[in-house]
């Protein structure tokens, strides 16, 4: 399925997601909530998928109230294939289709290598990498059956390029895997009109990062990470990443697939 030529469309038309159905995993707070909000702002009908069922419902109500589009909250464990499949079933049934899937859910524990257990390693890989695979696979199946073009957006990290701090061997490995998986998705799904893109954010001021910073045991680790040069002068905010995701989801990026967009404020330029 060749992508359409959208050269004659206006920028506002290219940016519009009116009527398209989007799923954002880990969408109840932080980057996920910001992405869901931006997609809804330009017309998408959004499903907030999160391990926290109550938070997902509350986030969905906030977005629906702000933008007036259908928005639902759904409980999901992204590392569980049945849970992800059930999520897709519900989204298709209640919202009527699926065009955009954002694999945002992730975990970011910090544990020195010599203290890292197999159980913690497996959990990080299961959520960050396997969860991305499961979400992409199930979303692609439904898009292909429906015969509709779509886009899968994976949230990677600058840790997939450079390890900025000790204690993130499992996290960095998972995010390197997300970058490679994105390329594989692009190659295999492109003939069906499905694009795959990844976004690699810098440290982003989310509730999760704020919780890490409050931990006395992790104070020195975060101090080292925060000392990295920031050419643009600050960490990212969730909406900084959400705007990149909106570009990826829209037809403005229609010719793009397989790549990882850096949303890192120039950190990697001075690494």
pLDDT digits (tens, 9 = 90+) for 144-198: 999 999 999 999 999 888 877 788 999 999 999 999 999 999 999 999 999 999 9
Residue with tokens 């969860």: 131
Q: Which two tokens stand for residue 151?
A: 């886009």
Residue with tokens 């992800």: 84
Across residues 3-26, what is the average pLDDT?
96
pLDDT the model gives residue 213: 62
DSSP class of residue 235 equals: P
Each residue of 84-142: pLDDT tens digit? 999 999 999 999 999 999 999 999 888 989 999 999 999 999 999 999 999 999 999 99
DSSP class of residue 28 equals: T
d(CA 106, CA 117): 18
Name the percent of the chain lying above pLDDT 90.
Answer: 76
Write down the mean pLDDT value for the chain: 92
- Higher per-residue confidence, 207 vs 61: 61
Burial annotation 15-28 (CB, 10 A radius, 16+ → b, else e): bbbeebbbbbbbbb
Each residue of 239-251: pLDDT tens digit? 999 999 999 999 9
Domain 13-261: top CATH class: alpha beta
pLDDT the model gives residue 184: 98
Positions marked active-site: 171
Judge whether 1 and 191 are in contact, CB under 8 Å.
yes
Residue 220 has pLDDT above 80, yes or no: no
Judge whether 95 and 49 are in contact, CB under 8 Å.
no
d(CA 167, CA 113): 6
d(CA 166, CA 88): 37
């Amino acid at each position: 399925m060749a992508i359409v030529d959208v050269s004659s469309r206006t920028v506002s038309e290219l940016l519009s997601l009116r009527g398209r159905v989007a799923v954002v995993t880990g969408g109840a707070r932080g980057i996920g909530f910001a992405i869901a909000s931006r997609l809804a702002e330009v017309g998408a009908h959004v499903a907030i998928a999160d391990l926290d069922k109550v938070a997902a419902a509350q986030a969905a109500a906030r977005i629906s109230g702000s933008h007036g589009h259908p928005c639902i909250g759904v409980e999901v464990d992204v590392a569980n294939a049945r849970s992800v499949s059930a999520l897709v079933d519900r989204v298709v049934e209640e919202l009527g289709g699926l065009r955009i899937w954002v694999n945002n859910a992730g975990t970011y524990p910090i544990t020195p290598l010599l203290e890292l257990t197999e159980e913690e390693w497996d959990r990080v890989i299961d959520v960050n990498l396997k969860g991305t695979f499961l979400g992409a696979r199930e979303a692609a199946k439904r898009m292909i059956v429906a015969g509709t073009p779509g886009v899968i957006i994976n949230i990677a990290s600058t840790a997939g390029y450079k390890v900025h701090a000790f204690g993130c061997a499992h996290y960095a490995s998972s995010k390197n895997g997300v970058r490679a998986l994105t390329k594989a998705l692009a190659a295999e799904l492109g003939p069906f009109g499905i694009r795959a893109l990844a976004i690699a954010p810098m440290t982003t001021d989310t509730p999760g990062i704020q919780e890490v910073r409050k931990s006395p045991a992790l104070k020195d680790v975060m101090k080292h990470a925060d000392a990295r040069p920031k050419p643009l002068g600050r960490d990212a905010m969730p909406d900084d990443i959400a705007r990149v995701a909106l570009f990826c989801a829209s037809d403005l990026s229609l010719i793009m697939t397989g790549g990882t967009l850096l949303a890192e404020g120039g950190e990697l330029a001075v690494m």
